[in-house]
Amino acid sequence: MVFSGIPFLYYFLPWMLLTYFIAPKSLKNAVLLLASLIFYGWGEPKYLIFMVLAILQGYFFGLLIEKHRNTGRSRLYLTASVVLSLGLLCYCKYADFFIANFNAVTGLSLPLLNIALPIGISFYTFQIISYTVDVYRGMAAQRNLVDLAAYIAMFPQLIAGPIVRYSDIADSLVNRSHTISAAAEGARRFVLGLGKKVLIANTLGELCGLFKASDEKSVLFFWLYAAAYTMHIYFDFSGYSDMAIGLGRVLGFRFMENFNYPYISGSITEFWRRWHISLGSWFRDYLYIPLGGNRVTKWRWYLNIFIVWMSTGLWHGAAWNFAMWGLMFALLLVIEKQWLLKPLEKAGPVKHIYVMLTVMLSFVLFDAVNISDAAATVAALFGGGNYPAVSPEALYYLRSYGLILIIAAIGCTPLAAKAVKAIGQKETGKKVLSVAEPVFLALLLMVCTAYLVDGSFNPFLYFRF
């Protein structure tokens, strides 16, 4: 089940919210947990066992870690929990990757396991690890299994984040308020995220699909693809995050922001402060800092950065192009921190061109089937591969998708938000917005519904992670 689907929007969600709000306070977490299990098991119920086992080990090890805090046993229980969490993730996500590479190195032919990846396992694994680590560091363990399970399995952020830490919503699990204004704020955020996903991300995804299926590629078409995919992945993932944050607000939770207009960044360092914020902060607090961060020798600091970014790349997928994607950013971040950050501050528009070109090339690598495919695409962007500069097909798709590309480019900036804010600062503007906003949101929901009924292209990119 996906947020941008008719079954979720018009069957699951209304009944879930009705049941949730009529349930007494003492049962709301139970309703949320049951709804989350139904949501997760809708398309692949057999994978519920992985989630249940992960929740149970996190719950019991959390209690044991707290009981034996400040002793060797506490560290032992933490280690066991982390090993189990990562072991399950590695088995489901990386087993065939390791086997295939082992076969390539040794010349053997060990059979692949062909394990289907349970949706969302990367996200809920990281949430369990952060919970047990925080308990080890002194946070109180959750003694109510239903409350902890509701946190781990919570359907708004289960499938594609943001990665919510238990410490951020521990109080809300027990004491949260529900108001009409909060529900309205959440609904607004959800509908806007739905529009970003359905009307922009899906349309750009169609253009990317047309490029890959084309037999008449040109340099222009390669650049159209690179630009479309770069904005496609942003609107797809940030749209999902908006919907998750909005649903959380309706249910009484405040999830952290996951994106902050990353494409306006003036450096790659800034870009990663604005892109997938919950993942970046997780790796910082649970891997980079425990490794010593930058409070070590320079060469150890470099190693820490490369370990973190190799891990970040492989978190996104079990393939070498993802590992290279992570290492590429590690190298760029080291170069920036050592030599480029100060010059970039004075570089004006050039720094934004540098960031966007780098990001576009990185997402070409991210989307590639393998490294050789990525290298061929990058070469074609700069005239390699004997492709014509322009082709009739590229010009046709430029005309057909030009408007959505312009809208997406503007939507990657805070211009629209600033315009609305400026209007709302005037008394007349407030009155106009009080009428126009609900009308706009209602129309947006109707248009998205029409697209969903009529269309078939509706994947979420981050489901595979």
Residues involved in catalysis: 316
Reading the block at residue 177, the tokens are: 């308020």
DSSP state of 65: H
Identify the burial level of 464 via C-beta atoms within 10 angstroms of its C-beta, where 0-12 means exposed, 13-18 middle and 19 or more buried.
middle
Distance (Å, rounded) from C-alpha 49 to C-alpha 51?
Answer: 5
Tokens 């009981």 identify what position?
67
What count of other Cβ atoms lies within 10 Å of the Cβ of residue 349?
8
DSSP state of 5: S
Identify the burial level of 430 via C-beta atoms within 10 angstroms of its C-beta, where 0-12 means exposed, 13-18 middle and 19 or more buried.
exposed
The answer to whether 32 and 150 are in contact (CB under 8 A) is: yes
For 368: left if phi > 0, alpha if psi spans -120 to 50, otherwise beta; the answer is beta
DSSP state of 365: H
185: CB partners within 8 A, 6+ apart = 246, 249
The answer to whether 387 and 217 are in contact (CB under 8 A) is: yes
Task: Give CA angle at 460 (355, 307), nearest 5°.
Answer: 50
The answer to whether 243 and 193 are in contact (CB under 8 A) is: yes
CA nearest neighbour of 130 among 204, 62, 49: 62
